[in-house]
């Protein structure tokens, strides 16, 4: 499933990571992708690719059901549509749209031990 999200308040990499996705770089293809597990097991997991578009980003999302098994006629078992994918895509979109603008975030003032203890 693919959607384009426009009028981003921060860079796409930061936004997808705030949505709970971890970043993966593939040395062979040179592509960066992002994944989020459904539970503590490695599979199934959501797998997303980001592509920059005019005034936004295209998010391509699917659900990897199991580890890829590359052989004759085999790729990997992935779901590219359905209610679970639609719900997750809605969650990503809502997360991107509700994120504060990058300039709105102010770094927290660091305090030492006694500053934390006594305010």
Q: Where is 25: in which H helix or E strand? A: strand 22-25
Predicted confidence band of residue 86 (pLDDT cuts 50, 70, 90)? very high
Q: Quick check: is 112 in a domain?
A: no
Answer whether residue 64 is part of any domain.
Answer: yes
Does 74 have pLDDT greater than 60?
no
- Report the sign of the C-alpha dihedral through residues 39, 73, 82, 60, in that order: positive
Q: Is residue 72 part of a domain?
A: yes
> What is the value of pTM for the model shown?
0.77
Q: What is the mean pLDDT of residues 90-96?
A: 95
Domain, as residue range, for 58: 2-103
What local confidence, expressed as pLDDT, does residue 103 receive?
A: 63
Domain-located, residue 70: yes
How would DSSP label each residue in 28-82?
TT--EEEEEESSSSSSSEEEEEEEEETTEEEEEEEEE-S----BTTB---EE-SS
Number of domains in the chain: 1
Burial (0-12, 13-18, 19+ Cβ within 10 Å), 67: exposed
Q: Averaged over 59-75, what is the pLDDT?
A: 76
């Amino acid at each position: 499933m693919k959607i384009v999200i426009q009028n981003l308040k921060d860079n796409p990499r930061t936004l997808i990571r705030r949505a709970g996705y971890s970043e993966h770089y593939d040395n062979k293809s040179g592509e960066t992708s992002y994944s989020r597990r459904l539970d503590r097991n490695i599979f199934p997991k959501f797998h997303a690719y980001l592509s920059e578009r005019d005034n936004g980003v295209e998010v391509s999302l699917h659900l990897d059901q199991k580890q890829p098994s590359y052989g004759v006629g085999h790729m990997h078992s992935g779901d590219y549509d359905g209610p679970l994918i639609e719900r997750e895509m809605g969650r990503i979109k809502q997360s991107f749209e509700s994120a504060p603008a990058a300039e709105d975030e102010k770094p927290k003032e660091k305090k030492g031990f006694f500053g934390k203890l006594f305010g």
